[in-house]
Amino acid sequence: MEILKKQLADLINSLSKAAKETIQHRLADLISVYPFNEYEYVISTLLGLGKITLDNYFEMRDEYISRNMFLYIFEIAGPRTFGEQWAQGHLKELVPELVKPTKRIDSNYSGQYDFLLKCDGEKYCKIEVKASRAVDGKSREQLAVKALAWPSEKPFDMNFQQVKPGCCDVFVWVGVWRDVIKHWILTSKEVETNPFYSTGQHRGNVGEGQLHINRDNIKKFEKYVAESDKILQALKNAYHRQIAK
């Protein structure tokens, strides 16, 4: 969003003094009602003044979309809808081999984890999925407005909550930015012994904690990152790390 704002501001500043002041005064009093907002007004005005062509607009639009391919994910309402429906569906698309657990497969299953995967012959490993979105920690705007791009240096704090290492073998953490999605694959042991993992998130919830990934510590997790087309193998590798003595 910052890039688009600067592009439009530069175009406005290149107008004549009278035209620039007219736009600025109009923006100061502008009332936005979806889908009519300040960006629609500025772009349509620049088109009308002949400052940009239709081809310029399409180029600007295409560049914006490429920088914000995953912005729609920030518009998903509710942490449960985002964490359970979107994140799990996203991972299932990347790794079709994942199986939703049932009591037929695991007689002790009662919602403790999200997926099963055959990682060692016919033996299943238990996988838990957690997801979070990177947003400007100092902004009070709505989620989609304060969503951060990967190159941004603004502070963020992605909190992976209700983490229960004793209930699964492998964790998949999904981190979403405007322009990229990151996947971290960790074993339960690696989570439980991680210096950034803290227990006692909720009083009385034994064996449950949380872990924050933020601007200060994100590089500490680089070794756990898996590219989208390598997640299946990363899950199997993590499982074998988990069971290794």
Domain positions in the chain: 2-67, 78-243
As a whole number of angstroms, the distance between CA 67 and CA 180 comes to 9
C-alpha dist (Å) from residue 194 to 108, 113, 188, 211, 222 = 28, 20, 10, 9, 13
Looking at residue 72, its pLDDT comes to 93
Q: Write the DSSP symbol of residue 236.
A: H
Amino acid, single-letter form, for residue 169: D
What is the value of pTM for the model shown? 0.82
- Concatenated DSSP letters of 45-59: HHHHTTSS-HHHHHH
Looking at residue 125, its pLDDT comes to 96
| Contacts for 7 with CB less than 8 Å, ≥ 6 apart | 60
Q: Give the neighbor-by-neighbor strand order of the sheet with 197-199.
A: 157-163, 209-214, 197-199
Longest Cα–Cα distance in the chain: 75
Residue 4: how many CB atoms within 10 A of its CB?
Answer: 17
As a whole number of angstroms, the distance between CA 194 and CA 95 comes to 26
As a whole number of angstroms, the distance between CA 192 and CA 245 comes to 16
> Token pair 């081809």 is at which residue?
55
| Contacts for 116 with CB less than 8 Å, ≥ 6 apart | 98, 99, 100, 101, 105, 106, 124, 125, 126, 127
* CATH number, domain 78-243, options 3.30.43, 3.90.550, 1.10.3470, 3.40.1350: 3.40.1350
C-alpha dist (Å) from residue 89 to 48, 61, 83, 226, 242 = 43, 28, 10, 17, 25
Start-to-end C-alpha separation, the chain: 49
Looking at residue 120, its pLDDT comes to 81
Selection from 117, 114, 113 nearest residue 95 by Cα: 117
Looking at residue 140, its pLDDT comes to 85
pLDDT averaged over 10-residue windows placed end to end, the chain, 245 residues: 84 92 90 84 94 94 90 88 93 97 94 93 93 92 90 92 94 96 97 90 67 95 97 97 88
| Dihedral angle of Cα 234, 239, 242, 243, to the nearest 10 degrees | -140
Cβ atoms of 242 and 189 closer than 8 Å? yes
